[in-house]
């Protein structure tokens, strides 16, 4: 029986392990080896780490954990979490079972990009297609930047206006709100109507083919659909918010006693959306780790 099992070895889980390890709590961290920012070669918007490859950050965090004898990091996938406070069981994919008094969920989100041929491949290559201007907007500076879909177009055009050379909204045959269309025109963004047939890499960026006509772009913003990467919140019956995020208080406590959540999978109800960023995930891991210690006292 360990003090805590942490599910997830991204920035949220690794920081929770560090916080718990520093108080000599016995911890098992399980990591299935799939990370949300796998498609990105470099991460941004993190002080002193701007441009660091995400794998390098995780590697350094794991190296830090080696100094703490009570922390075990294991490359393993889990498939079930059950029980209640002081008596949780976690079943691993190999059928073995581990037990702990507390659980920290840090299993992140999984993204699915819109169903446009060629888009998933470019998303996984990572340098031309992005979803977050804070993370990858600057890397598209001075280029013609596309925005796929009408839904987030107004917002993204406004955010990327000072960064991009120009902006092109591909409505992908979605209706564009007249107020949004007017704001796009005001900001000098062009609107290309029609279904996007496919996107593909070109010599100097990418090309979106819209009803047979090529539109040359230097980068493209898309809105993926994000869902929980693991089934544990549902298995434990945790309260979720309309965003799909597990509801947490500012210290990462969920609706179930003894279960904490951190990182992208968790959502504080006072915030309009889960703040999905590496630094925020690490900070929330620290808070969940500290709250765990508090609840074990
Ligand atoms: C393409 C892309 C680029 C991004 N770029 C940036 C950026 O530049 N800067 C930035 O700040 N943010 C960026 N983000 C956001 C950032 O990736 C997330 O905010 C961050 O990774 C969240 O960390 P996390 O620890 O919550 O989850 P993750 O890093 O996704 O880690 C989840 C962990 O859970 C584990 N796991 C899942 N299921 C199981 C299971 N069944 N058993 C065991 N372990 C399991 C995984 O193996 C992994 O260890 C980007 C996101 C995307 C999609």
Reported as a single tens digit per residue, the pLDDT across 26-81 is: 999 999 999 999 999 999 999 999 999 999 999 999 999 999 999 999 999 999 99
Span from the CA of 55 to the centroid of ligand 1 (angstroms)? 11
Question: Which one is the CATH code of 114-221: 1.10.287.130, 3.50.50.60, 3.40.50.300, 3.40.50.150?
Answer: 3.50.50.60
The predicted pLDDT at position 274 comes to 81
CATH homologous superfamily of 2-110+225-296: FAD/NAD(P)-binding domain (3.50.50.60)
Q: Which residue has the higher pLDDT, 24 or 272?
A: 24
Pocket lining for ligand 1, CB < 6 angstroms: 7-13, 30-37, 39-40, 43-46, 77-78, 106-108, 111, 135, 229-230, 263-264, 276-279, 281
Question: Which tokens is 142 given?
Answer: 């001075």
Span from the CA of 150 to the centroid of ligand 1 (angstroms)? 27
Map out the domains of the chain as residue ranges.
2-110+225-296, 114-221
pLDDT band at 150 (very low <50, low <70, confident <90, very high): confident
Q: Which residues touch 10 (CB under 8 Å, ≥6 apart)?
A: 35, 36, 58, 106, 108, 263, 281
Please choose, from the candidates 210, 218, 212, 166, the residue with its C-alpha nearest in 3D space to the C-alpha of residue 192: 210
Span from the CA of 281 to the centroid of ligand 1 (angstroms)? 9
Q: What tens digit of pLDDT does each residue of 194-218 get?
A: 999 999 999 989 999 999 999 999 9
**Rounded to the nearest 10 degrees, what angle do helices 11-22 and 278-296 cross at?**
40
Distance CA 134, CA 44 (A): 8
Task: Report the nearest-CA residue for atom 10 of ligand 1.
Answer: 277
pLDDT at residue 125 tops 80: no
Question: Stretch 94-123: mean pLDDT, rounded?
Answer: 97
Span from the CA of 37 to the centroid of ligand 1 (angstroms)? 5
Tell me whether the CATH fold assigned to 2-110+225-296 matches the one assigned to 114-221: yes
Q: What tens digit of pLDDT does each residue of 279-290 get?
A: 999 999 999 999
Task: Report the nearest-CA residue for atom 29 of ligand 1.
Answer: 10
Helices (H), 5-145: 11-22, 54-65, 119-125, 133-136
Please identify which residue in the block is written with the tokens 């079972």.
97
pLDDT band at 135 (very low <50, low <70, confident <90, very high): very high
DSSP state for residue 263 in the 8-state scheme:
G
The predicted pLDDT at position 151 comes to 84
Question: Stretch 82-98: mean pLDDT, rounded?
Answer: 98
Distance CA 134, CA 166 (A): 18
Distance CA 160, CA 201 (A): 21
- Specify the ligand 1 atom closest to the Cα of 107: 34
Share of the chain above pLDDT 90, in %: 90
List the end-to-end C-alpha distance of the chain, in Å, as a whole number: 16
The predicted pLDDT at position 110 comes to 96
The predicted pLDDT at position 57 comes to 98
Burial annotation 256-267 (CB, 10 A radius, 16+ → b, else e):
bebbbbbbbbbb
The predicted pLDDT at position 126 comes to 64
Q: What tens digit of pLDDT does each residue of 156-195 get?
A: 999 999 999 999 999 999 998 898 899 899 989 999 999 9
Distance CA 170, CA 173 (A): 8
Mean pLDDT of the chain: 96
Share of the chain above pLDDT 70, in %: 100
* C-beta separation of 267 from 243 below 8 A: yes
* C-beta separation of 150 from 196 below 8 A: no
Task: Report the nearest-CA residue for atom 51 of ligand 1.
Answer: 37
Span from the CA of 158 to the centroid of ligand 1 (angstroms)? 27
Task: Report the nearest-CA residue for atom 20 of ligand 1.
Answer: 278
């Amino acid at each position: 029986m360990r003090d805590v099992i942490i599910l997830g070895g991204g920035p949220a889980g690794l920081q929770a392990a560090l916080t718990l390890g520093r108080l000599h709590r016995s911890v098992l961290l399980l990591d299935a080896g799939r990370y949300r920012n796998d498609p990105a070669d470099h991460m941004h918007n993190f002080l002193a780490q701007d441009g660091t490859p995400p794998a390098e950050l995780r590697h350094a965090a794991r190296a830090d954990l080696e100094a703490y004898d009570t922390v075990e990091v294991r490359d393993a996938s889990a498939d079930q979490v059950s029980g209640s406070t002081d008596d949780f069981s976690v079943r691993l994919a190999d059928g073995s079972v581990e037990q702990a008094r507390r659980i920290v969920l840090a299993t992140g989100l999984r993204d699915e990009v819109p169903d446009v041929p060629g888009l998933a491949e470019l998303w996984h290559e990572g340098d031309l297609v992005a979803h977050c201007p804070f993370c990858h907007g600057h890397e598209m500076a001075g280029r013609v930047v596309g925005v796929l879909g009408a839904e987030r177009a107004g917002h993204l055009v406004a955010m990327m206006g000072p960064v991009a050379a120009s902006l092109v909204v591909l409505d992908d045959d979605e209706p564009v709100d007249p107020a949004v269309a007017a704001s796009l025109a005001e900001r000098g963004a062009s609107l290309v109507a029609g279904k996007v047939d496919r996107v593909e890499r070109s010599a100097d960026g990418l090309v979106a083919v819209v009803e047979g006509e090529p539109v040359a772009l230097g980068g493209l913003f898309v809105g993926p659909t994000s869902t929980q990467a693991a089934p544990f919140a549902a298995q434990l019956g945790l309260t979720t918010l309309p965003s799909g995020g597990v509801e947490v208080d500012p210290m990462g406590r969920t609706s179930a006693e003894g279960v904490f959540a951190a990182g992208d999978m968790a959502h504080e109800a006072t915030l309009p959306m889960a703040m999905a960023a590496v630094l925020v995930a690490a900070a929330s891991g620290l808070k969940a780790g500290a709250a765990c210690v508090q609840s074990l006292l």
